[in-house]
Amino acid sequence: MSKALLAAVLQDSLDCTGVAAHKAVKDLMSAIVEELKEEGSFTLPSFGTFAVCETKERQALNPRTGATVTVQAGQTVRFKASPRLKQKL
């Protein structure tokens, strides 16, 4: 699913312009990112939870050269589907 598809669904559902729908999707994505930065998680009831998780430093292989490289520790976002979403799938 892409931002364009979300905007198209909003445009059809709300009977608004494409520009307004794209702005709404952009604002929604920004709000989710801000919530993840501030709180560390974001929950959409009946859909699931997005959570920021720490990753450890690790060794990986460069696929071109086969050389070992160190991947630094960082953060990633994980998603856990709600039981209701799992049931619908």
Query: pLDDT-based confidence at 1, cuts 50/70/90?
Result: confident
Taking all residues of the chain, what is their mean pLDDT, rounded to a whole number?
93
Residue 59: C-alpha distances to residues 48, 65, 69, 75 (Å): 31, 14, 6, 16
Whether the per-residue pLDDT at 53 is higher than 90: the answer is yes
pLDDT at site 85: 93
Write out the two tokens for 47: 């859909």
pLDDT at site 58: 96
**What tens digit of pLDDT does each residue of 17-51 get?**
989 999 999 999 999 999 999 999 999 998 999 99
DSSP state of 64: T
Cα separation, 55 vs 60, in Å, equals: 14
Average confidence (pLDDT) over 46-74:
94
Q: Which of these, 49, 47, 52, 42, lies nearest to 89 by C-alpha position? A: 47
- Tell me the residue type at 22: H
